[in-house]
Structure 1
Amino acid sequence: MSSDKTSVQSQKSSRKIHPSVWVLGLVSLFTDFGTKAVQSVLPLFLVSVLGANISTVGLIEGIAESTASVLKLFSGALSDYWGRRKELAILGYGLSAAIIPVFALANSPFWVLVGRFGDRLGKGIRVAPRNALVADVTPPEQRGAAYGLRQTLDTIGAFSGPLVATLILLISEQNFRLVFWVALIPGIISVCLLVKGIREPQSAERKRNASIQWSVCRRLGRNYWALVGVAMLFNLGNFSDAFLLLKAQEIGITATWIPLSMIVMNFSYMLSAYPLGALSDRMGRKQLLVGGFWLFALVYLGFAWIDQPWQIWGLFAFYGVYLGMSQGILLALVADFTPPELRGTGFGIINLVIGIILLPASLLAGFLWQTVNSQTPFLLGSVLAIAASLLLLIGIRNDN
């Protein structure tokens, strides 16, 4: 009887996601609406309007992701020390919104680099405090569902943005700069929503570490550091999504319809993130993450050998399912493996590692694309995903 009562209470609890998670999800929705609208057309803008080559695209993406990622560690650690995560999140989201006009005014690849760097800088500031804030307000048995819900709302914006970008390109005869100006509006809305809608948990306000020290890394534990190693290996082959868009263009998808591929990807991501996150609360996260890595490997094999335009849509759909099987679950694992007073630091370290590894990943992908062929980067990514899944199985002993 007591186990039945516990089960009923657990089921009731799972239906009551904390309001702050909903607000953070809506903030992500509006932010991703703007950023994904920009990103869905940016590679084509660079190549067709500003005259950049593929290696330049890889360089810009790699520098933007990696250089700004250093702040992910310090913002996470600062949120632990300061005991205030909301203000750092506001700063990060505000910077990403404020930098959007740079894309609209850009007249050379350098200014696109400035814009991408500023956008990723904002993400570097906000991601670790935001993810820690979700964990602060969510009990362990709900974390998969909470992160899945936030990812689902995030992804509604991520497919709506490219959809609007596609419509703008159709109506305006491929006016890329108009897309960038429209993307500024949801960015402003997201900042206002964050300012008004989030109240810092009192536990986070009271708890401060004495100082930000490297010695705290020893307290994060074996499973956490094994997870960092897995993320490092996997993301060496998980290069920028800009190359997926360029692959779509290579096989014959016209520039006007390229953003539709992002819509398909993010729609399947939206449908899968919450149910798979909630499933991880019941069956364990490690198995689902391994499955996500294997699905990624298969999808990248598909991108390597694809030769017909109609095939691209199925690959982008399955890529979205991979995201649903991995992104929120990885965050829940980080929360599981870190003590409450070090959550910001834990999220910051793993985000730093992933961000840094994206520079060589994107540079290598651009180099292999130009010097060998467009298949080679995807084949390498597939092999590394399988290797990362094996390391995950061996290196992590017991997830929740």
Structure 2
Amino acid sequence: MFTGITGNVFILGLVSFFTDVSSEMIYPLLPLFLTGMLGAGPAFLGVIEGVAESTASLLKLFSGIASDRVRRRKRLVLMGYSLSALMRPLIGSASSPLAVLLIRTGDRVGKGIRTSPRDALIADSVDPSLRGKAYGFHRSMDHAGALVGPLLATFLLAFFVKDLRQLFWLAGIPGVVAILLIAWKVTETERTPEPKARLQLAMLPPGGLRRYLVILFLFTLGNSSDAFLLLKAGAVGTPSYRLPLLWAFFHLVKMLSNMPFGALSDRIGRRSVIVAGWCVYALSYLGFGVARSEWQIWLLFGVYGLFFGLTEGVEKAFLVDMAQPAQRGAAFGWYNFAIGAGALPASLIFGGIWQYEGNVAPFLFGASLAGVAALLLIMLVRPQKDIDDAV
């Protein structure tokens, strides 16, 4: 089952596990904290998520390109995880929605620094025939942490702490464990860095990779923050004390589905698995739009979790298949930038539609864009195997 999972991939999986334990002790409770305790509305929640994620994605572009020009990607990975681990618990001290915006943006700055170098380091550390499995394993560990985090938060709130702020401070402990694992256990891989020339940011990568990134951007315009799904769950009557459990269930589905679908893409091709995932996304968003009861929300979160299993690791493996080996960091930078460039307008649009048109219309908008993106991927981006056969 774990054949081909190298030491670096395993340790980086553990790092993501502990980081997400920390993050997900906070995240499912953040909408409640913002709207219930600090008085923010759905539109400002969209601002927070959009600004934070877009900031991260811009930095992922720079850090990815920079990681191709240095011998030690590990330093960037360690720097990014350390900044996030320091910033995240500070939400416990926030007294206004603006303070949450600043702290969450700082957290995402750390994510922006670490993500592209880390993903490139994984590609450097695994056999090409097992990329889908390796990225699927990494995402599974990430979601395992996202499963444990809400459960731990529920346990602590039930028996030890009564204040959300105290819980947010405690969430810093797993983040420190992640930093220590990187410092002590992650190793560099043998590689020749790109020449230290001026950063080329004016143009996207050429050919099929460019088309793939543009289509990803289009899909992301309809893929707003998952915080809105938690808001929808509350809108149909899900009590606040069950929101962490719902979030844990969601990540259980993602954890169990990522590695199998990643390995499947190693056998049958990446594009078809991604298209299937985007179709599942469209169906689940249609369901969220018309959902009216808590049991429907639980069912839809399960289906929506399969979308992540089908796409998270596979999209990255597909990217590596098309990128030049010496430019993997830059490819991941552009990949993350394309997603993040759509994150701010996506969350702003979604939050605005929700606030002025109700909670059905924004989900219909997201489902429509997912369907269009799936069709474009089929028509405009050839699978790597077809490209190799034509050469």
Q: Normalising to structure 2: TM-score of the pair?
A: 0.95
Q: Whole-Å Cα distance in 1 between the matches of residues 318 and 231 of structure 2?
A: 33
Verify the 8 A CA contact 1:83 1:208 in the aligned structure 2.
Answer: no
Partner of 1:35: 23
Partner of 1:140: 128
Partner of 1:256: 241
Q: Whole-Å Cα distance in 2 between the matches of residues 234 and 262 of structure 1?
A: 23
Partner of 2:35: 47
Partner of 2:318: 333
Give the AA of the match of 1:301. Answer: L
Specify every segment of 5 or more residues in structure 1 that has no aligned partner in the other structure, as ranges: 1-10
Verify the 8 A CA contact 2:270 2:383 in the aligned structure 1.
Answer: no
Equivalences for residues 206-221 of structure 1 within 5 A: 206-214=192-200, 220-221=205-206
Partner of 2:308: 323
Detail structure 1 runs of 4+ shifted over 6 Å in the superposition. none
The alignment status of 1:152 with 2:140, answered yes or no, reads yes
Partner of 1:295: 280
Q: Whole-Å Cα distance in 1 between the matches of residues 104 and 317 of structure 2?
A: 28
Q: Deviations over 1:216-246 (max 9, x none)?
A: 957x441211110111011001000110000
Partner of 2:118: 130
Verify the 8 A CA contact 1:148 1:329 in the aligned structure 2.
Answer: yes
Q: Normalising to structure 1: TM-score of the pair?
A: 0.93
Verify the 8 A CA contact 1:77 1:212 in the aligned structure 2.
Answer: no
The one of 81, 84, 94 aligned to 2:82:
94
Give the AA of the match of 1:15. Answer: T
Partner of 1:228: 213
The alignment status of 1:70 with 2:33, answered yes or no, reads no
The alignment status of 1:192 with 2:167, answered yes or no, reads no
Verify the 8 A CA contact 2:20 2:149 in the aligned structure 1.
Answer: yes
Verify the 8 A CA contact 2:89 2:170 in the aligned structure 1.
Answer: no
Q: Deviations over 1:136-174 (max 9, x none)?
A: 111211100000111111110011111112223333675
Cα RMSD after superposing both structures: 1.5
Give the AA of the match of 1:214. Answer: Q
Partner of 1:109: 97
Give the AA of the match of 2:48. Answer: I
Change (3 A) 1:174 1:317: farther
Please give the secondary structure, in 1, of the residue aligned with 2:26: helix
Q: Whole-Å Cα distance in 2 between the matches of residues 291 and 212 of structure 1?
A: 39
Give the AA of the match of 1:125. Answer: I
Q: Whole-Å Cα distance in 1 between the matches of residues 146 and 242 of structure 2?
A: 16
Please report how far the alpha carbon of residue 86 of structure 1 lies from its aligned counterpart in structure 2 after TM superposition: 0.4
How many residue pairs match? The answer is 385
Partner of 2:360: 375
Please give the secondary structure, in 2, of the residue aligned with 1:65: helix
Verify the 8 A CA contact 1:269 1:321 in the aligned structure 2.
Answer: yes
Partner of 1:268: 253
Verify the 8 A CA contact 1:85 1:133 in the aligned structure 2.
Answer: yes
Give the AA of the match of 2:34. Answer: L
Q: Whole-Å Cα distance in 2 between the matches of residues 398 and 280 of structure 1?
A: 11
Give the AA of the match of 1:342. Answer: Q
Q: Whole-Å Cα distance in 2 between the matches of residues 359 and 304 of structure 1?
A: 21
Partner of 2:296: 311
Q: Whole-Å Cα distance in 1 between the matches of residues 152 and 180 of structure 2?
A: 22
Identity %: 43
Q: Deviations over 1:95-140 (max 9, x none)?
A: 1100023201001011111111011111111000000001011121
Give the AA of the match of 1:155. Answer: H
32-41 vs 184-193, which moves further: 32-41
Please report how far the alpha carbon of residue 88 of structure 1 lies from its aligned counterpart in structure 2 after TM superposition: 0.3
